[in-house]
Amino acid sequence: MTVTGSGKAAKPVNVIEPVVAIAINTFRETVRDRILYALILFAAIVTVLGIVLGSLSVGQDIRILKDIGLAAISFIGGIIAVFAGTNLVYKELERRTIYIIFTKPVSGWQFILGKYIGLCLCVAVMVMAMGAFLAMIVIALGGNVAGASFIEQIKEITQELSLIYLELLFVTALATFFSTFSTPVLSVLFTLAIWLAGHLGESLLELGKLTQNPLIAQILGIIFYCLPDFAGLTRIRGHLLYGTAPGTEVLTYLVTYVFAYVLMLLVLAAIVTERKEFS
């Protein structure tokens, strides 16, 4: 029997190592959690659409297939982010696996960051796989839209996918944040509500302009600035769709905005986790 006890304690813990361990574990858990079925479902839908549209449309079949395909990737990626994200912390609490984590030299921020990175990796793999499948169908069906070459088509799909992924990073952070203090059902509702409100944010400003009451206009303005600006991301995707790529400044602003917002949500989630008691 080999049981070594005292005398050879572990070296001081590297702060990144637990984050990596938790991220890999979360990735494995999500991927092994039959979420790949979502991908298979998506693949089936797009294949059917590709065949049907190929036979019905004249000239615009690839454009329609691409639009539908990208919308489906955004939707399925969002479903994965929302449902897996809202269960992230809750599942650990419910199954009491959290006892294993927090009786090791692991801080709340390391736990949250590891969980978030793990889920984002999983979403990235799903989005890339679905995107690759879509690109394959586009190639198989000819891939020429309005004179755009095959390479341009692939480039356009990649740009669109990057923006979709940026939005999903946002949604995953929201879901992770809510999962630290509420049940999965409520977390799903909160995340979906903010996701939707984030897309409709500019309507709040319009509503503020229409109202005669300055106080209400001010409140609506504050809500607009607090809500994540998903509409901004959608606007840029629209530009891409019509071949007018946004400038580097706009993209830099957008990426900085998303990462700043994600960071704020993760810091809040870490604070909530750090203050939690595990009874």
Q: Which of 43, 21, 27 is nearest to 122 (CA)?
A: 27
DSSP letters along the chain, please?
-----TT-PPPPPPSHHHHHHHHHHHHHHHIIIIIHHHHHHHHHHHHHHHHHHHHH-SS-HHHHHHHHHHHHHHHHHHHHHHHHHHHHHHHHHHTTTHHHHHTSS--HHHHHHHHHHHHHHHHHHHHHHHHHHHHHHHHHT---BTTB-HHHHHHHHHHHHHHHHHHHHHHHHHHHHHHTTS-HHHHHHHHHHHHHHHHSHHHHHHHHHH-S-HHHHHHHHHHHHHS--HHHHHHHHHHHHTT-PPPHHHHHHHHHHHHHHHHHHHHHHHHHHHH----
Q: How far is the CB of 128 from another protein (least distance, A)?
A: 22
**C-alpha to C-alpha distance for 191 and 269, rounded to whole angstroms:** 14
Smaller CB distance to another protein: residue 23 or 204? Answer: 23
Q: Using the minimum distance from each CB to another protein, give the nearer residue, 106 or 157.
A: 106
Q: Are 257 and 229 in contact (CB under 8 A)?
A: yes
Where on the chain is the footprint of another protein (CB under 8 A)?
1-14, 17-18, 20-22, 24-25, 28-29, 32-33, 95-97, 99-107, 277-279
CB of 22 to another protein, least distance (A): 8
**Comparison of 39 and 93: residue with beta carbon closer to another protein:** 93
| Closest distance to another protein from the beta carbon of 73 (Å) | 25
Task: Choose between 19 and 72: whose C-beta lies nearer to another protein.
Answer: 19
Q: Residue 124 Cβ, how far from another protein at the closest point, in Å?
A: 19
Q: In whole angstroms, how close is the CB of 23 to another protein at the nearest point? A: 11
CA pair distance 84, 158, nearest whole angstrom: 24
Closer to another protein by CB, 11 or 146: give it. Answer: 11
CB of 87 to another protein, least distance (A): 13
CB nearer another protein, residue 155 or residue 276? 276
Shortest Å, Cβ 107 to another protein: 7
Q: Which is nearer to another protein, 23 or 164 (CB)?
A: 23
